[in-house]
Amino acid sequence: MDFTSRMTALLGAFRRERNGAVADSMRCYGRPCGLNYGVSLPTLRRLARAEGTDHDFARYLYRQDVRELRLAAFHIADPARLTPEEYPFWGERLLNSELAEEGAFALFCHAVSFGTLFGTWISPGTDPLWQYAALMSVARAAEPQAAWIPQIVDTLHRAAVAALPESRLLAQGAVAALVALGSLNEENRRTVHRAAGSLGSLPAEDFVHEELAWRLDPGC
């Protein structure tokens, strides 16, 4: 069966699970896809995983302007083929925070060289949604590195000082990443607190201070 026929069959499965109420209630940062059936994420993940791993098919789906197909692509793609040459293809189609989060959960954190992906997407000047995806991926990475902590904090600080519209979103990503790293061991926890101590009192920075206070020091 060719890709078009497989995509048509998958779309049919999504249509049978469509939920207008869910679609109407969705709230995410960024631009919506052109078509949205409102399929819940658990259902979407189940249908996508039934397709098995097929990286070329995943790329084909990811090119479509349909929410469910782009989200499904993350579960069908092969992380072993997510090389630096592929980063722009996946990054440029991250239209909104939902895509960034699902990509982080299902694909990006499993990249063959996640450290390279993280360093590329978190660097100054990259799209904030790429940065958000990188931060959320840290929270899912198999071997998160303490060396990433200063980069995470610096990314949030730059966004806060520049008053970027995405600063609160990046703050949420920074918290997810820092909590994941700080929860690994006591040395990491102290490193996270030292790095976060360099943040000021801008709204996004205050959010990080407040979240880390109770999530890394729950007994205090």
The whole-number average pLDDT for the span 132-140 is: 97
Q: What percent of the chain has a predicted confidence (pLDDT) above 70? A: 95
pLDDT for 184: 95
Question: Which H, E and C letters describe the chain, residue by residue?
Answer: CCHHHHHHHHHHHHHHCCCHHHHHHCCCCECCCCECCCCCHHHHHHHHHCCCCCHHHHHHHHCCCEHHHHHHHHHHCCHHHCCHHHHHHHHCCCCEHHHHHHHHHHCHHHCCCHHHHHHHHHCCCCCHHHHHHHHHHHCCCCCCCHHHHHHHHHHHHHHHHCCCCCHHHHHHHHHHHHHHHHCCCHHHHHHHHHHHCCCCCCHHHHHHHHHHHHHCCCCC
Q: How far apart are CA 51 and CA 74, in angstroms?
A: 12
Amino acid of residue 127: D
Q: Which residues contact 162 (CB under 8 A, 6 or more apart)?
A: none
Q: What percent of the chain has a predicted confidence (pLDDT) above 90? A: 89
The verdict on residue 124 lying in a domain is yes
Per-residue pLDDT for 26 more than 70? no
pLDDT for 119: 96
The verdict on residue 79 lying in a domain is no
The verdict on residue 123 lying in a domain is yes
Per-residue pLDDT for 43 more than 60? yes
pLDDT for 18: 84
Domain count, the chain: 1
The verdict on residue 2 lying in a domain is no
The verdict on residue 136 lying in a domain is yes
What does the mean pLDDT of the chain come to? 93
Contact 144, 175 (CB under 8 A): no
Per-residue pLDDT for 42 more than 80? yes
The verdict on residue 196 lying in a domain is yes
Model confidence pLDDT, tens digit, residues 11-23: 999 999 887 655 5
CA quadruple 135, 89, 38, 14: dihedral sign: negative
Model confidence pLDDT, tens digit, residues 83-131: 999 999 999 999 999 999 999 999 999 998 899 999 999 999 999 999 9
pLDDT for 21: 55
Question: pTM here?
Answer: 0.94
**Hey, what are 38's tokens?**
């409102």
Domain residue limits at 173: 113-220
Instruction: Give exposure, 162-176, as e/b (b: 16+ Cβ within 10 Å).
Output: eeeebbebbbbbbbb
Q: How far apart are CA 17 and CA 204, in angstroms?
A: 37
Instruction: Kindly indicate the confidence band of residue 25, based on its pLDDT and cuts at 50, 70 and 90.
Output: low
Instruction: Kindly indicate the confidence band of residue 217, based on its pLDDT and cuts at 50, 70 and 90.
Output: confident
Contact 177, 139 (CB under 8 A): yes
The verdict on residue 68 lying in a domain is no
The verdict on residue 169 lying in a domain is yes
The whole-number average pLDDT for the span 3-31 is: 82
Q: How far apart are CA 144 and CA 151, in angstroms?
A: 13
Model confidence pLDDT, tens digit, residues 145-164: 999 999 999 999 999 999 99
Contact 133, 104 (CB under 8 A): yes
